[in-house]
Structure 1
Amino acid sequence: MLIVQLAAILFAAKIAGDISVRLGQPAVLGKLLIGIVLGPSVLGIVQDTDILKEISQIGVILLMFIAGLETDIDQFKRTGKAATYVGVLGIVVPLALGYAAGVAIGLSMEKAVFLGLLLSATSVSISVQALKEMDQLKSKEGSAILGAAVIDDILVIIALAFLMSLTGSDVHLGAVILKKIIFFAVAILLAWKAVPVVLRLFAPLRVSESVISAALIICFVFAYFAEIAGVAAIIGAYIAGLAVSFTSYKQEVFEKIETIGYSIFVPVFFTSIGVAVEFSGALKHIWLMIGLSGLAVLTKLVGAALGAKLAGFSWNSSFAVGAGMVSRGEVALIIAGIGLETKLLTPDLFAVLVVVVLVTTIVTPPLLKAIFKGKQATEQAA
């Protein structure tokens, strides 16, 4: 039953998160790992059902909405140059080396390019949680990571649409780009003009938590239309959070949405990542899995760090930004699903890449913590 699985997830996630913190790691790492233990790969207590995926999707949407609420917009503006450089170089390096790896293992040109694009994707939902736990989400590094993630998402999806149009799929590059331009133009206009009005209209209603309901409506509507436009739903939720952060309701919304999210939906999201993992297909290609995992971590870490360094960050800060971009998360899984459907990935390579995505996700929290700890030690010594 779903309620039993939810009870198991919440209990295990909180205990595993606490153990992770006691061992000096972010709580999110424990939640990710306990998902593997609970899932079909180990104990089989929790199954990767459609309804669990939907609850998980709400969790990541609320997580990014909260990140938008917490964003320091002045810091965000100051890191715009860094976000651009990080977003671009964080794609170029993984794309080039991923393509080379694809050619090396015998893939055709189109399939090798697809592999490079998949390794170029970034999902910062895991990084957001790790940064929150370290109180670094509002730092210049945190702002650069969030900005770069938006740029990364747009560029990777456009590049993917271009590749699909060349391989004969029914995809029109001009339409893809136009949809994204329309989405961002409309989203910015609504964030500026409509969001404050909606919250003010809901505030005097004689029902409980009307403002919080209004904020959730805004969040889900932005996420939905982002998904329709081919932009990740988490980007739409993040923009909605930014919009609400400019209103006088920011603190009330933040406190109550955080309670809603972290009491059930966000833990389910983190744990379900591990639950979804299936090792059987990947273990037949263990060396390929190890090689691509190492490549995925290093290319994004180095590429994004070089972008931050070119923007004037110190090396310590640059590698902190690079670490925050390592996780491929649900964005790469969506791209992998497209590859399997269009025969650009074989079932075995798909299984390998799912594990690669999991590895990048698990590596990100401790990597971020280690780099920030080193950065702080260097600053104190200076």
Structure 2
Amino acid sequence: MLIDSPIIAFTILLTVIFTVPPIFEKLRLPGLVGLLIAGVVLGQNGLKLLDSESETIKLLSEIGKLYLMFVAGLEIDLEQFRKTKNRSIGFGTLTFLVPLIAGIIVGKLFNFSWNSSFLIGSLLASHTLLAYPIVSRLGVVTNEAVTVTIGATIFTDTGALLVLAICVGIHGGEFSALSLVTLLGGLAIYSAVVLFGFDWAGKEFFKRSGDEESNQFLFILLALFLASVGAQVIGVEKIVGAFLAGLAVNDVLGRSPVKEKVEFIGSVLFIPCFFVDMGLLIDIPAFLKTLSSIWLTVAIVVALIGSKFLAAFLAKLLYRYNTAELLTMWSLSLPQVAATLAATLVAYQSLNPAGERLISEGVLNSVIVLMLVTAILGPVITARVATSLQVSQTDVETDRLSTWWDSEEEISEETDNFFTVVVPIYNPQTQRHLIEMAALLARHEHGQIVPLAITKAYVNMDAPELITALDKSKQRLQFAREISQEFDVQVSPAIRIDDDIALGISRTSREQNASLVIMGWSRTTGLRARLFGSVIDSVFLSSHCPVAVTRLLTSPTKIKRILVPVGDLTRQTVGAVRFAQILADTNQAEIVLLHVCDRKTSQTLVDKFASGLSAIAAQSKLQVNTNIQTIRGDYIAKVIIQQAQAFDLVVLRSVRYRTAGGLSVSEVTTQVIKELKGSIVLLGEPNS
């Protein structure tokens, strides 16, 4: 009854997805590993609560497989690829061909057919950027070696799926040179239609649909499944269409909230179902038999690790990278998760007319072991070696910030760049300190503040509830005006009626051509709601200017010592330093730029970093007392929290990176905010 009931099977799946990954992550193992093991435990070799042959599991797993490849295409940073296109193609070719050849050699050594051997090689050729959040958190994404590796992903994944399509086609029956040419020609035409047609259609639809996020979300899902069905029609595997659909709508979605929602629904539901189903397919006796004759597994794992290293080494020689960049490129290209697992399952389920599988169960089990090894090894190596990467000072100088503090034009009332601070106000407990902060900055820059009260819209504009809400908004704005007059700054209060609070803030700041948005979070709400709530998320994502989320426990006028933790020399670091310097100049305050480095970091690198930091601090025209402090420590957050006790304010960067689950700030930032007792400014910049 348990196996046959779709509702019970779905309930079991949800329970597993909700409970298992967090447990494994606490054990410092990928949550996906937990889902695989849960599938084994609940499958036919365990408790027999789930059946991989049931229609419910089949449907959810199939959608998860397509979603996995769709997100893989969606998360490829096309902007980064365009910056280093030639070198990305060069490294992509190396990290595709070398593992492909290694896989073919392994296949032939174990007496597989040429077709199966090519397929095994293609499984090793792709890679998943599992460690991307690590390099993002460390602020070294703009390092050329990292950018080249990210850009190479588009080449390796596309190439691996192309080989998969050909191998599956050959395995399916009689396959002549004519049918191969027909398949490649059809695939080329189909790819062009999807990449250019979906991109054009998406931009036109988004332009006309405005802010109708629900319809935009449905359009993206429709694009995913249309592309998958189209791939089947031309005789190509569905996951090829899903990957192309992800690439096609990549530019359309950009960093919009719709993209976060699309990725969120996949990461919390469909993709985990795919991994549970992978676990259900594992036959424990056959898996143990595979491990007992371990040589195939060892050969595949060694071939992958060795070939990826050789490809990175050749790129080092070709492009003259240093050892740290070599190891980072190698570790980033090691993990085999998304494309590898999806393609493996497709190949395993591919049968020829005689009922033979394209790859054996031994290869399937070996690839699962490969996934476990590389999913752990890759991020661990990245976390250790990427700390030695440096972003050159020229990168910081040429990658100009779209902010008022980096503008070469003089801000004045005669220009369109008149300094304006938009301050959304709602909570009376935090309103005074927010207005004071905005007033200090506006007075320093000879600008104005725009206190903003957002009132939720009602169907009827004469609804009593709306009238009451507007009256309360007017009272808050009047209080804001009185506070502003104490600082002798120009104030232009604004009331907006809007269905979406976050978009109301972003639209008003755009209409006012704001230079900065200052927001507060309430101390009465939970940490997760303050940092990851939909309002702050959406404002960060949609704002055209910097956003400062503040927790001010005392008046900003009393701030005399400001701490700015610095982990890299990127444009976001420049922004945090500039913001702190302007705020310090209003109060004649002191700034300390704190760099916490690993104990193993050489003194040469420490001195080089301090020198770069000094150059950034010296670029400001303001005469602010700025000191640099370097501390060696294993736990960055702990050091920052200890040092912050002697300061009135800590300025943190919102290091936001894209994950399959949506928006996140760095682990260090999250821990610092959770445990810090003093005042904080969390600064996020547009497009960061």
- Alignment check: 8 A CA contact 1:305 1:321 kept: no
Q: Give SS of 1:209's match.
A: helix
Amino acid across the alignment from 1:199: F
| C-alpha separation in 1, matches of 2:352 and 2:125 | 24
| C-alpha separation in 1, matches of 2:167 and 2:284 | 29
1:36-80 Cα offsets, whole Å, 9 max, x none, are 222222222211024312212212323333343333212223222
Q: Give SS of 2:79's match.
A: helix
The 5-angstrom pairing of residues 230-241 of structure 1 reads: 230-241=235-246
Q: Per the alignment, do residues 303 and 97 of structure 1 end up closer, same or farther by CA in structure 2, a change over 3 Å counting?
A: same
Give the drift of 1:159.
5.4
* Corresponding position of 1:324: 335
Give the drift of 1:274.
0.7
* Corresponding position of 2:326: 315
Q: Per the alignment, do residues 276 and 88 of structure 1 end up closer, same or farther by CA in structure 2, a change over 3 Å counting?
A: same
Q: 1:43 aligns with which of 47, 58, 79?
A: 47
Q: Per the alignment, do residues 59 and 287 of structure 1 end up closer, same or farther by CA in structure 2, a change over 3 Å counting?
A: same
- Alignment check: 8 A CA contact 2:91 2:311 kept: yes
* Corresponding position of 1:106: none
Cα RMSD between the aligned structures? 3.3
Q: 1:183 aligns with which of 187, 190, 204?
A: 190
Q: 2:155 aligns with which of 147, 157, 162?
A: 147
| C-alpha separation in 2, matches of 1:127 and 1:302 | 17
Amino acid across the alignment from 2:161: D
Structure number with greater Rg is 2
Amino acid across the alignment from 2:230: F
- In the alignment, structure 1 residue 34 sits paired with structure 2 residue 3: no
- Alignment check: 8 A CA contact 1:100 1:112 kept: no
Give the drift of 1:356.
2.0
Give me the identity figure in percent: 21
Give the drift of 1:316.
0.9
Q: 1:52 aligns with which of 30, 34, 57?
A: 57
Q: 2:349 aligns with which of 324, 327, 337?
A: 337
Q: Give SS of 1:122's match.
A: helix
- Alignment check: 8 A CA contact 1:32 1:271 kept: yes
Give the drift of 1:283.
4.2
Give the drift of 1:116.
1.5
- Alignment check: 8 A CA contact 1:118 1:336 kept: no
Give the drift of 1:203.
4.7
Amino acid across the alignment from 1:151: G
* Corresponding position of 2:90: 81
- Alignment check: 8 A CA contact 1:145 1:325 kept: no
- In the alignment, structure 1 residue 260 sits paired with structure 2 residue 269: no
Q: Per the alignment, do residues 279 and 136 of structure 1 end up closer, same or farther by CA in structure 2, a change over 3 Å counting?
A: farther
| C-alpha separation in 2, matches of 1:228 and 1:136 | 39
| C-alpha separation in 1, matches of 2:74 and 2:255 | 7
1:2-43 Cα offsets, whole Å, 9 max, x none, are 222222222223322112211122222222222222222222
Q: Which has the higher contact order (CA 8 A, sep 6+)?
A: 1
* Corresponding position of 2:13: 9
Q: Per the alignment, do residues 13 and 176 of structure 1 end up closer, same or farther by CA in structure 2, a change over 3 Å counting?
A: same
Q: Per the alignment, do residues 14 and 309 of structure 1 end up closer, same or farther by CA in structure 2, a change over 3 Å counting?
A: farther
| C-alpha separation in 2, matches of 1:125 and 1:63 | 14
Q: Name the TM-score, length of structure 1 as normaliser.
A: 0.82
1:310-329 Cα offsets, whole Å, 9 max, x none, are 23364312422441247731
1:297-348 Cα offsets, whole Å, 9 max, x none, are 22223223323332336431242244124773131232233366546659xx
Higher strand share: 2
| C-alpha separation in 1, matches of 2:217 and 2:18 | 25
* Corresponding position of 2:68: 63
Higher helix share: 1
* Corresponding position of 2:480: none
| C-alpha separation in 2, matches of 1:229 and 1:39 | 34
- Alignment check: 8 A CA contact 1:297 1:326 kept: no
- Alignment check: 8 A CA contact 2:199 2:249 kept: no
Amino acid across the alignment from 1:23: L
Amino acid across the alignment from 2:344: A
The 5-angstrom pairing of residues 115-194 of structure 1 reads: 115-122=116-123, 127=128, 130-131=130-131, 134=134, 139-140=146-147, 141-158=149-166, 161=169, 164=171, 168=174, 172-194=179-201
* Corresponding position of 2:284: 279
| C-alpha separation in 2, matches of 1:367 and 1:274 | 21
- In the alignment, structure 1 residue 23 sits paired with structure 2 residue 57: no
| C-alpha separation in 2, matches of 1:341 and 1:317 | 45
Q: Give SS of 2:385's match.
A: helix
| C-alpha separation in 2, matches of 1:82 and 1:214 | 34
Q: Per the alignment, do residues 211 and 249 of structure 1 end up closer, same or farther by CA in structure 2, a change over 3 Å counting?
A: farther
| C-alpha separation in 1, matches of 2:286 and 2:32 | 26
- In the alignment, structure 1 residue 358 sits paired with structure 2 residue 363: no
Give the drift of 1:253.
1.7
**Which blocks of at least 5 consecutive residues in structure 1 are unaligned?**
103-110
Q: Per the alignment, do residues 69 and 275 of structure 1 end up closer, same or farther by CA in structure 2, a change over 3 Å counting?
A: same
Amino acid across the alignment from 2:367: V
Q: Give SS of 1:43's match.
A: coil
Give the drift of 1:286.
4.5
The 5-angstrom pairing of residues 296-307 of structure 1 reads: 296-307=300-311
Q: Per the alignment, do residues 227 and 132 of structure 1 end up closer, same or farther by CA in structure 2, a change over 3 Å counting?
A: farther
| C-alpha separation in 1, matches of 2:261 and 2:273 | 18
* Corresponding position of 2:409: none
Q: Per the alignment, do residues 147 and 204 of structure 1 end up closer, same or farther by CA in structure 2, a change over 3 Å counting?
A: same
Q: Per the alignment, do residues 174 and 352 of structure 1 end up closer, same or farther by CA in structure 2, a change over 3 Å counting?
A: same
Q: Give SS of 1:365's match.
A: helix
* Corresponding position of 1:368: 378
- In the alignment, structure 1 residue 196 sits paired with structure 2 residue 192: no
Q: Per the alignment, do residues 331 and 46 of structure 1 end up closer, same or farther by CA in structure 2, a change over 3 Å counting?
A: same
